[in-house]
Amino acid sequence: MNQHKKKINHFLPVSISEIKNPDLNQLDIVLITGDAYIDHPSFGTAVIGRVLEDSGFSVGIISMPDWKNPESVNIFGRPRLFFGITGGAIDSMLAKYTALKRYRSDNPYAPAGKGSKPERAVIVYCNLIKQMYKDIPIVLGGIEASMRRIAHYDFWDDKVRRSIIEDSRADILVYGMGEKQIIEIAHRIDTGKDLKNIPGTVIMSKEIPDNSMMLPSEEDASKSRKIFIELYRKFYTNQLKILTQQCGNRYLVHYPPAEMNSMELDKIYDLPFTYLPHPLYREKIPAYEMIKDSITSHRGCFSGCSFCSLSLHQGKKIISRSAESVTRDVQKLAQNKTFKGHITDIGGPSANMYGFSCAKKWKCGRESCLFPSLCKNLQSGTGKWIDLLKKASSVKGIKKVSIGSGIRYDLFMIDKKSRKHLETLIRSHISGQLKIAPESTSKRVLRAMRKTPLFRLDEFIKLFKALTKKAGKEQYLIPYIMTCHPGEAGNDIIKIKQDVVSLFGFIPEQVQMFIPLPMTLSSVIYYSGEDPLTGEKFPSAKKTEERGKQHKNFLLKTSRKNRSANEL
């Protein structure tokens, strides 16, 4: 291992001239990302770079390389151990195309929101490396690799594609949050050991591992919808086992997810991030501007909504940071000269899941702790999160702590205590709007989404209005609605629209059109017409014109006048 010198609050190098150690003539690891390098724990490349650095490895970062020029991945020369590749914070196909498959010109992860990455960025970057170095190990990570780790339906090609580890010819794929995996991989490569049996990874092998469960072959799954459904069902319900799939004359081996606990998460947030984009960028980066005054309190989501990548990427287990660790971040933010005293968010994928735990230590086969009903093993409640918000508000220099991300509203309706917490939230931690995600009002669509709420939405809206009035505030509920999800057919959208207007008093302006994201349950329902877990059949709008029409029908006649009905 190269000699590592502890450094505090500097950026990881993006060029040879930025390598601080003059005795270092070769980096251990080079990370390549499709996004700008933002040295903040909300961005995966910075986190992976920092944990590797903390483990004694020297790391350099190449951000947004020119994909037409192999020399662009050669800024640091050949690393001693491996190249780590990520497409960036979102899948490169999703980044490049809209839900109607039109070209997207903006890129929030690049300076000035401009600058693009190639389609299928992970594969393209790997090809660049292979052109420069035939035999260097390549490690894949990030959302694009994670959510394409086994054969999956690809919306943009409209077909089942094989695992990205095969297309990229990488040596190992890290799925989920990759901190533990990457350290293990670095040590194994450094000591000449093999890459078998690392939790949270996928490899290609010539042998079938012992004690593994065999999935239908990649070839069969790509030819038959029925077999693809069977592949997905087996994969989805057995993720805690070692899974194997035949791919030509080799085998894809999928190891169970990596485990992490709160102490380990705290340790990551104590690493010496600068909390800034690299000074190389002259213009603002929209994704950074959005999160710079917010704090992540936990990982994971136990909703198990079928259209979302989260439970297959981060997992349903909630890993919460300690209140002390979050408070340290609040204090750091308060000392920042550009900070104006308003924390715009403290949360995670669903903000109010902070502090929840499971009596069975999250070891079970259910895809959701809330669907079709609340699991009795789900413990704690929204109290820990509300306490966290109160604690953050009391730190010197903090004027306001509000919640910018969406909440799971029905968790506030479980018992009297939770309703009390909602009152505190409404009184002290909303900045004009509270976002909730009913997504639809159609029972069939909600069944396909696995999103039947635990309590009626109209009851929640009534309570929100009453508590807002009591607090003497003017605040609104903003619903996230999704159109074109499987289950929505014919005139369903007209009825959904009527329901939304009657519940909220207006048609929200930001309505998302469903995109079947790789490896999600909804993508399989969209492709096959069948829920692989229940066998229920669901219709889907597939033609671009049909999808466009459905979406437009929801938005038609949006009137600002209608908003007055929701005023309190």
Residues in the site for ligand SF4, rule: CB under 6 A? Answer: 302, 358, 360, 362, 364, 366, 369, 375, 377-378
Q: Smallest gap, in angstroms, from Cβ of residue 366 to ligand SF4?
A: 4
Provide the b/e sequence for 219-234 (b: ≥16 CB within 10 Å): ebbeeeeebbbbbbbb
Which stretch of DSSP H or E encloses residue 462? helix 457-471
If one counts every other C-beta atom within 10 angstroms of the C-beta of residue 279, the result is 9
Of 366 and 419, nearer to ligand SF4 (C-beta) is 366
Of 222 and 377, nearer to ligand SF4 (C-beta) is 377
Of 40 and 408, nearer to ligand SF4 (C-beta) is 408
Of 260 and 541, nearer to ligand SF4 (C-beta) is 260
Q: Smallest gap, in angstroms, from Cβ of residue 234 to ligand SF4?
A: 19
Q: Smallest gap, in angstroms, from Cβ of residue 322 to ligand SF4?
A: 21
- C-alpha to C-alpha distance for 346 and 540, rounded to whole angstroms: 36
Interior angle at CA 78, CA 76 and CA 84, nearest 5: 85
Of 21 and 357, nearer to ligand SF4 (C-beta) is 357
- The residue with tokens 């000449």 is 192
Of 126 and 369, nearer to ligand SF4 (C-beta) is 369
Of 49 and 304, nearer to ligand SF4 (C-beta) is 304
Amino acid letter, 356: F
Q: Smallest gap, in angstroms, from Cβ of residue 360 to ligand SF4?
A: 4
- C-alpha to C-alpha distance for 348 and 41, rounded to whole angstroms: 13
Q: Smallest gap, in angstroms, from Cβ of residue 254 to ligand SF4?
A: 20
If one counts every other C-beta atom within 10 angstroms of the C-beta of residue 158, the result is 11
Q: Smallest gap, in angstroms, from Cβ of residue 98 to ligand SF4?
A: 35
157 exposed, middle or buried (CB, 10 Å; 0-12, 13-18, 19+)?
exposed
Q: Smallest gap, in angstroms, from Cβ of residue 373 to ligand SF4?
A: 10
Amino acid letter, 151: A
Tokens found for residue 63: 């951000």
* Under 8 Å between Cβ of 495 and 535: no
Residue-wise DSSP of 33-71 = ESS--EESTTSHHHHHHHHHHHTT--EEEEES--TT-GG
Q: Smallest gap, in angstroms, from Cβ of residue 358 to ligand SF4?
A: 3
- C-alpha to C-alpha distance for 501 and 491, rounded to whole angstroms: 16
CA nearest 118: which of 88, 151, 162?
Answer: 88
Of 205 and 377, nearer to ligand SF4 (C-beta) is 377
- The residue with tokens 């009534």 is 462
Of 215 and 318, nearer to ligand SF4 (C-beta) is 318
Of 101 and 366, nearer to ligand SF4 (C-beta) is 366
Tokens found for residue 135: 């035999």
Of 88 and 349, nearer to ligand SF4 (C-beta) is 349
| Residue partners of 116: CB distance under 8 A and separation at least 6 | 95, 96, 107, 110
506 phi-psi bin (left φ>0, alpha ψ -120 to 50, beta other): beta
Q: Smallest gap, in angstroms, from Cβ of residue 65 to ligand SF4?
A: 40
Q: Smallest gap, in angstroms, from Cβ of residue 361 to ligand SF4?
A: 8
Q: Smallest gap, in angstroms, from Cβ of residue 377 to ligand SF4?
A: 4
Of 370 and 493, nearer to ligand SF4 (C-beta) is 370
Provide the CB-side half-sphere exposure for 73 (13 A, CA).
31
- C-alpha to C-alpha distance for 391 and 325, rounded to whole angstroms: 12
Q: Smallest gap, in angstroms, from Cβ of residue 565 to ligand SF4?
A: 38
Of 317 and 429, nearer to ligand SF4 (C-beta) is 317
Instruction: Answer positive or negative: Cα dihedral of 359, 363, 364, 369.
Output: positive
Provide the CB-side half-sphere exposure for 321 (13 A, CA).
25
Residue-wise DSSP of 313-333 = HT-SS-EEPPHHHHHHHHHHH
Q: Smallest gap, in angstroms, from Cβ of residue 563 to ligand SF4?
A: 38
Q: Smallest gap, in angstroms, from Cβ of residue 145 to ligand SF4?
A: 26
Of 318 and 437, nearer to ligand SF4 (C-beta) is 318
| Residue partners of 311: CB distance under 8 A and separation at least 6 | 300, 301, 302, 303, 304, 305, 367, 368
- C-alpha to C-alpha distance for 162 and 160, rounded to whole angstroms: 7
